[in-house]
């Protein structure tokens, strides 16, 4: 009898995927579940990948990624973020931010080490920490469930705390961690001698025009921060599976060793596409930012017409949290009933933390017509309750 490992058995399929799969069983469904931009990758980026393939750049690269891409990433972050990382020692190219996150955790966590995950949180974090034999410590905010709580983070610290896993802007809330909160987290990290892994894959989608500062840029923080980003959202390249991590060279070296044994390297044609995407003289993300800003306004306006629901305008990302408390339903029941009644799929908030059970999450990675029709159906459902 084959025995599946405890780690594999402990991994739970997410409610996001569950609703996505359930949605597939209906015709004419409007699916707000997955955050996968529907906008095609820009032609210039696609052309760079095609050229690489025609030039037979189709083999393995260095484990950390081709140096010219690491140089492009280093330059892009210097120019756009004011972050300074050496291409040859402080950057690794990964298979999406997901593998970057996983390798970061694998490089840092020993069995039983605690990882503080402020809620609401990206679902995969908890599973990844478990996969690395660490202990996920989810920290809820009981006063303001959609914001992280610095006091709760402080209360959760123990002698086993290894790192804080930060996601700003946040999936699922679309909120940005404030400069004050970042300063507080930096102080905690320095005082307690712990690391911060910061997942900033959504900083490309900011609706007030002010690109948020990274905790990596705060004084004395570069040595304790692992910075994660990706081509997926910024350049509508989810399927190219290309991300990167910047951090202290010992950690990047450890991750590079681990990477050799997991995927060897990120796909080479995708790496050449990313070199083009990272050019600082062409803005390949402007179009997608404009489209999502418009969709966000449409979404917020449409929800204003529904008295029983309240949509919180996201500051960033293509996710919106909708308050369903006036319907008297909790988030899972609401999502299942909504799908059954009007064929609209959303994600139950409880997926992102116990305190989010009065919310559902919508990813507005659909065109405006579908967004309007989807929200019309949601309104019909809410009015019928
Ligand atoms: N971090 C967050 C917060 C995300 O929402 C996602 C994707 N949904 C990722 C990381 C993974 O992105 P990638 O496609 O680069 O692996």
The model's pLDDT over 259-317, given as tens digits with 9 standing for 90+, comes to 999 999 999 999 999 999 999 999 999 999 999 999 999 999 999 999 999 998 999 99
Q: Which atom of ligand 1 is nearest to the CA of 99?
A: 16
Structure tokens, 72: 């492009």
Q: Which residues lie with the beta carbon below 6 Å from any ligand 1 atom?
A: 35, 96-98, 122, 167, 171, 199, 201, 230, 232, 238, 243
- For the segment 198-220, what is each residue's pLDDT rounded down to a tens digit? 999 999 999 988 889 999 999 99
Average of pLDDT values for 174-180? 96
Q: What is the pLDDT of residue 312?
A: 87
Output the CA 97–ligand 1 centroid distance in Å. Answer: 6
Output the CA 12–ligand 1 centroid distance in Å. Answer: 18
Whether pLDDT at 241 is above 90:
yes
Q: Whose CA is nearest to atom 5 of ligand 1?
A: 171
For the chain, give the percent of residues with pLDDT over 90: 95
Q: What is the pLDDT of residue 12?
A: 84
Q: What is the pLDDT of residue 348?
A: 97
- Selection from 157, 123, 124, 113 nearest residue 139 by Cα: 157
Q: Which of 95, 120, 127, 233 maximizes ligand 1 atoms within 8 Å of its Cβ, making it the mutation to test the pocket?
A: 233
Output the CA 186–ligand 1 centroid distance in Å. Answer: 23
Mean pLDDT score across all residues of the chain: 96
- For the segment 339-360, what is each residue's pLDDT rounded down to a tens digit? 999 999 999 999 999 999 999 9
Q: What is the pLDDT of residue 13?
A: 84
Element (H, E) at 234: helix 231-234
SS3 at position 151: helix
Q: How many angstroms separate the CA atoms of 329 and 326, rounded?
A: 8
Q: Which of 97, 148, 197, 363 maximizes ligand 1 atoms within 8 Å of its Cβ, making it the mutation to test the pocket?
A: 97
Output the CA 204–ligand 1 centroid distance in Å. Answer: 13
Asked whether the beta carbons of 355 and 119 are under 8 A apart, the reply is: yes
Q: What is the pLDDT of residue 210?
A: 84
Q: What is the pLDDT of residue 65?
A: 98
Give the position of tokens 């950690």.
Answer: 251
Residues in the chain: 385
Q: What is the pLDDT of residue 209?
A: 83
Structure tokens, 212: 């948020």
Q: Whose CA is nearest to atom 8 of ligand 1?
A: 35
Q: Which atom of ligand 1 is nearest to the CA of 35?
A: 8
Cα dihedral 52→285→242→108 (10° resolution): 150
- The total of other beta-carbon atoms located within 10 Å of residue 56's CB is 8
Q: How many angstroms separate the CA atoms of 372 and 236, rounded?
A: 22
User: DSSP letters along 199-226, please?
Assistant: E-TTTT-BSSS-PPPPGGGSTT-GGGEE
What's the pTM value of the predicted model, to 2 decimals? Answer: 0.96
Structure tokens, 134: 């660490």
Average of pLDDT values for 19-34? 94
Average of pLDDT values for 80-86? 96
SS3 at position 225: strand
Q: How many angstroms separate the CA atoms of 1 and 19, rounded?
A: 32
Q: What is the pLDDT of residue 103?
A: 98
Output the CA 341–ligand 1 centroid distance in Å. Answer: 31
Q: How many angstroms separate the CA atoms of 114 and 243, rounded?
A: 25
Q: How many angstroms separate the CA atoms of 225 and 252, rounded?
A: 11
- CA dist list (Å): 86 to 91, 205, 303: 7, 26, 46
Output the CA 201–ligand 1 centroid distance in Å. Answer: 7
- Contacts of 226 by beta carbon, 8 Å cutoff, 6+ apart: 104, 108, 195, 196, 197, 198, 245, 246, 247, 248, 251
Q: Which atom of ligand 1 is nearest to the CA of 101?
A: 10
- Selection from 222, 154, 172, 131 nearest residue 15 by Cα: 172
Q: Which atom of ligand 1 is nearest to the CA of 167?
A: 3
- Selection from 218, 216, 190, 239 nearest residue 91 by Cα: 216
Give the position of tokens 């989010």.
Answer: 356
Whether pLDDT at 69 is above 90:
yes
């Amino acid at each position: 009898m084959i025995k599946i490992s405890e780690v594999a058995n402990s991994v739970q399929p997410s409610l996001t995927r569950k609703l996505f799969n359930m949605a597939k069983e209906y015709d004419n469904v409007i699916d707000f579940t997955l955050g996968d931009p529907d906008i095609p990758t820009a032609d210039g980026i696609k052309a760079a990948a095609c050229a690489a393939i025609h030039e037979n750049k189709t083999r393995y690269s260095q484990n950390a990624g081709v140096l010219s891409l690491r140089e492009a990433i280093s330059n892009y972050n210097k120019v756009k973020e004011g972050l300074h990382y050496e291409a040859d020692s402080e950057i690794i190219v990964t298979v999406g931010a997901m593998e970057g996150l996983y390798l970061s955790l694998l490089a840092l966590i020993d069995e039983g080490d605690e990882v503080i995950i402020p809620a609401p949180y990206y679902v995969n974090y908890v599973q990844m920490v478990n996969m690395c034999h660490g202990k996920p410590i989810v920290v809820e905010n009981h006063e303001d469930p959609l914001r992280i709580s610095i006091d709760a983070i402080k209360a959760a610290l123990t002698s086993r705390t290894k790192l804080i896993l930060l996601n700003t802007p946040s999936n699922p809330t679309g909120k940005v961690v404030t400069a004050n909160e970042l300063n507080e987290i930096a102080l905690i990290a320095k005082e307690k001698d712990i690391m911060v892994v910061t997942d900033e894959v959504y900083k490309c989608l900011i609706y007030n025009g002010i690109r948020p500062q990274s905790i990596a840029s705060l004084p004395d923080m570069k040595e304790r921060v692992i910075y994660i980003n990706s081509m997926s959202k910024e350049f509508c390249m989810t399927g190219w599976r290309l991300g990167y991590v910047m951090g202290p060279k010992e950690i990047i070296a450890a991750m590079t060793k681990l990477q050799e044994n997991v995927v060897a390297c990120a796909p080479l044609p995708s790496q050449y596409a990313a070199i083009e995407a990272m050019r600082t003289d062409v803005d390949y993300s402007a179009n997608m930012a404009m489209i999502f800003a418009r969709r966000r306004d449409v979404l917020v306006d449409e929800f204003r017409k529904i008295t029983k629901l309240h949509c919180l305008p996201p500051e960033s990302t293509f996710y919106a949290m909708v308050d369903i408390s006036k319907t008297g339903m909790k988030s899972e029941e609401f999502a299942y009933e909504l799908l059954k009644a009007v064929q609209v799929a959303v994600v139950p908030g409880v997926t992102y933390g116990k305190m989010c059970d009065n919310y559902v999450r919508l990813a507005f990675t659909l065109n405006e017509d579908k967004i309007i029709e989807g929200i019309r159906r949601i309104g019909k459902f809410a009015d019928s309750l």
